[in-house]
């Protein structure tokens, strides 16, 4: 299984792209502005989109993707998300005012968009690739994802703040190889991080203190994502100054993980 980071920034500008992760050729986890760099052939290959939550930086290119591939596909693109996120997409995006409702285009029997509601703990098995919804704590209903190929797996927290339930589930994983966790703000903005339900380096340190690395049979590589533009260097410096013993790296656009 090949996992490629299409976008991992908390904003745009200067080659920055918002959150989107491509799993093999046919799966996206979130569909931020990084999707816009894909070729037509790449876009046509996407059959499934797993959405962490409804904020625009994570869903912005779902409408554009569907509009682009319309007329070139015989089967729908399936959006997997929580019932609350699906309701938001239906009500506020695919509502004929912001964008056409592709769940009835070209007609209800041959719709380009289908929805699959997920609950935390549920696993979708796509040709041996298991994707499980994980708990998250954000200012809208949100979830992370555990992507498991068998010998090794990856966890993407999505946007979250302090969340004991997340680490309870992560600590059950025995083949965890990669952990991607958000850290949107610097410590100077801890109150903003708390208000918007994101992490900063001091909160990240508390959260990773809940991670029991002994559950994994392989060393776990930790990456931080969703850094706000212009703050990446200071955030990474503050992370380096914590007491965390594990090496932590900034996630990079175009980075590839293999499971």
Indicate if the pLDDT at residue 93 is higher than 90: yes
Is the domain spanning 1-81+83-117 CATH 3.90.1260.10? The answer is no
195 CB neighbour count, 10 Å cutoff: 11
Instruction: Give the pLDDT score at 102.
Output: 97
Name which CATH class applies to 120-252.
Answer: alpha beta
pLDDT for position 245: 80
Burial class (CB in 10 A: 0-12, 13-18, 19+), 49: buried
Looking at residue 216, what is its pLDDT?
54
pLDDT in tens, 130-170: 999 999 999 999 999 999 999 999 999 999 999 999 999 99
Among the listed ranges 54-58, 83-87, 215-219, which one has the minimum average pLDDT value? 215-219
Sequence ranges of the chain with CATH classification 3.60.15.10: 1-81+83-117, 120-252
d(CA 194, CA 205): 14
**pLDDT tens sequence across 113-122:** 999 999 999 9
């Amino acid at each position: 299984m090949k996992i490629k980071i299409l976008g991992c920034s908390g904003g745009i500008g200067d080659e920055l792209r918002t959150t989107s992760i491509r799993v093999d050729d046919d799966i996206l986890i979130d569909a931020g502005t990084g999707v816009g760099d894909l070729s037509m052939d790449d876009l046509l290959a996407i059959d499934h989109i797993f959405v962490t939550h409804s904020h625009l930086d994570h869903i912005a290119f779902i409408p554009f993707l569907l509009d682009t591939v319309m007329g070139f596909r015989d089967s729908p693109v399936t959006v997997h998300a929580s019932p609350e996120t699906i309701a938001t997409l239906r009500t506020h995006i695919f509502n004929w005012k912001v964008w056409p409702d592709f769940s009835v285009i070209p007609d209800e029997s041959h719709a380009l968009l289908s929805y699959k509601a997920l609950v935390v703990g549920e696993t979708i098995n796509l040709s041996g690739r298991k994707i499980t919804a994980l708990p998250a704590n954000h200012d809208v209903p949100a979830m992370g994802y555990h992507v498991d190929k068998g010998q090794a797996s990856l966890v993407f927290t999505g946007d979250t703040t302090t969340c004991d339930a997340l680490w309870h589930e992560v600590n059950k994983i025995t083949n965890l190889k990669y952990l991607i966790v958000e850290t949107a703000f610097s410590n100077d903005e801890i109150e903003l991080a708390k208000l918007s339900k994101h992490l900063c380096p001091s909160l990240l340190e508390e959260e990773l203190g809940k991670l029991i690395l002994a559950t994994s049979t392989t060393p776990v590589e930790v990456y931080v994502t969703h850094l706000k533009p212009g703050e990446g260097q200071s955030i990474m410096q503050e992370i380096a100054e914590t007491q965390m013993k594990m090496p932590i790296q900034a996630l990079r656009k175009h980075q590839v993980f293999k499971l």
